[in-house]
C-alpha cells in the first residue's frame, strides 16, 4: 500500500527586500572566500522560520492555514544585524545574521503563531524560537571561518518590514530545497 501523501512545511517571514538580499549575497560571497566548505541559502529561500511543522498529511496543512488566518498582529520593522553561528563560533554548523531591533516583536509573533497552531492541533518543533536568518550551513570549518565570523559580529544587513506570515512547503532536492507558498496571512 502506498504511503499517504505528506507535505513538509513551516511558517516563516520571507526576506525579500532587494537591498537587504543584495547585502546578504555580498556577505555570502565574502564567506566563500574563507574557503570553508559551506552550503549557502539561495537568495529566493531567505526567510526567518517562526515554526517548523515538518512532514504532515494534507488535513494538517489545511488546519495550519486556518490557524494562520486567525492571527491578528500589526506589521513592524526588524533590523538584521550581527553575525553568529550555531552551536558556537568555534564549532560553526549554521551561520546566521541576528535580529536586532524588532526581535521582541518577532518573538511575540512566533509565540502567537505557535499558540494558534497548537490550538488547531498542528504539531511543530517545540525548540525555543531564536530570531535569526540562516545564511549557510557549514560542511567543513577552518580557522579563517572563525576569524571571519568574529570580524563580522556587528555587521548590519538592513531593515525589513514584517507585514505577512507565510505557510511554506519545502521540497528537498539534490540541488537544495525548493519552497512554495501555500498560504499567506497579511499583518495589519
Tell me the HSE value of 50 on the side-chain side, using a 13 A CA sphere. Answer: 28
Q: Which residues carry out catalysis?
A: 47, 132
Does the structure show a pLDDT above 60 at 143? Answer: yes
Q: pLDDT: is 173 or 120 the higher one?
A: 120
Superfamily of domain 7-181, CATH level 4:
Cyclic phosphodiesterase (3.90.1140.10)
188 neighbors 75 (Cβ within 8 angstroms): yes
Q: Please give the Cα distance from 105 to 117 (Å, whole number).
A: 18
Per domain, the residue ranges of the chain are: 7-181
Q: Please give the Cα distance from 152 to 62 (Å, whole number).
A: 41
Mean pLDDT of 36-53: 96
> Which own/partner contact pairs does 38-44 have at CB distance under 8 Å and 24+ positions apart?
38/95, 38/136, 38/137, 38/138, 38/139, 39/136, 39/137, 39/139, 39/176, 40/135, 40/136, 41/134, 41/135, 41/136, 41/137, 42/176, 44/179
pLDDT at 1: 43
7 neighbors 56 (Cβ within 8 angstroms): yes
Does the structure show a pLDDT above 90 at 142? Answer: no
Q: What share of the chain is helix, strand, coil (3-state, %, to 5)?
A: 30, 40, 30
| Helical (H) or strand (E) element with 109 | helix 103-119
Residue indicated by cell numbers 572563525: 146
* pTM given for the model: 0.94
Mean pLDDT of 13-36: 96
Amino acid at each position: 500500500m502506498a504511503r499517504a501523501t505528506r507535505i513538509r512545511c513551516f511558517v516563516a517571514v520571507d526576506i525579500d527586500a532587494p537591498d537587504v538580499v543584495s547585502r546578504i549575497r555580498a556577505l555570502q560571497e565574502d564567506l566563500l572566500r574563507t574557503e570553508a566548505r559551506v552550503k549557502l541559502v539561495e537568495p529566493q529561500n531567505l526567510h526567518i522560520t517562526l515554526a517548523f511543522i515538518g512532514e504532515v498529511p494534507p488535513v494538517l496543512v489545511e488546519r495550519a492555514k486556518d490557524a494562520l488566518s486567525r492571527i491578528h498582529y500589526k506589521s513592524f520593522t526588524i533590523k538584521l544585524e550581527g553575525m553568529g553561528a550555531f552551536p558556537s563560533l568555534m564549532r560553526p554548523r549554521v551561520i546566521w545574521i541576528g535580529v536586532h531591533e524588532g526581535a521582541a516583536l518577532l518573538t511575540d509573533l512566533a509565540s502567537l503563531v505557535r499558540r494558534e497552531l497548537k490550538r488547531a492541533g498542528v504539531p511543530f518543533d517545540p525548540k525555543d524560537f531564536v530570531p535569526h536568518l540562516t545564511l549557510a550551513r557549514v560542511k567543513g570549518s577552518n580557522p579563517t571561518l572563525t576569524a571571519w565570523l568574529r570580524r563580522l559580529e556587528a555587521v548590519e544587513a538592513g531593515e525589513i518590514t514584517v507585514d505577512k506570515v507565510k505557510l511554506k512547503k519545502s521540497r528537498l532536492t539534490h540541488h537544495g530545497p525548493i519552497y512554495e507558498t501555500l498560504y499567506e496571512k497579511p499583518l495589519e
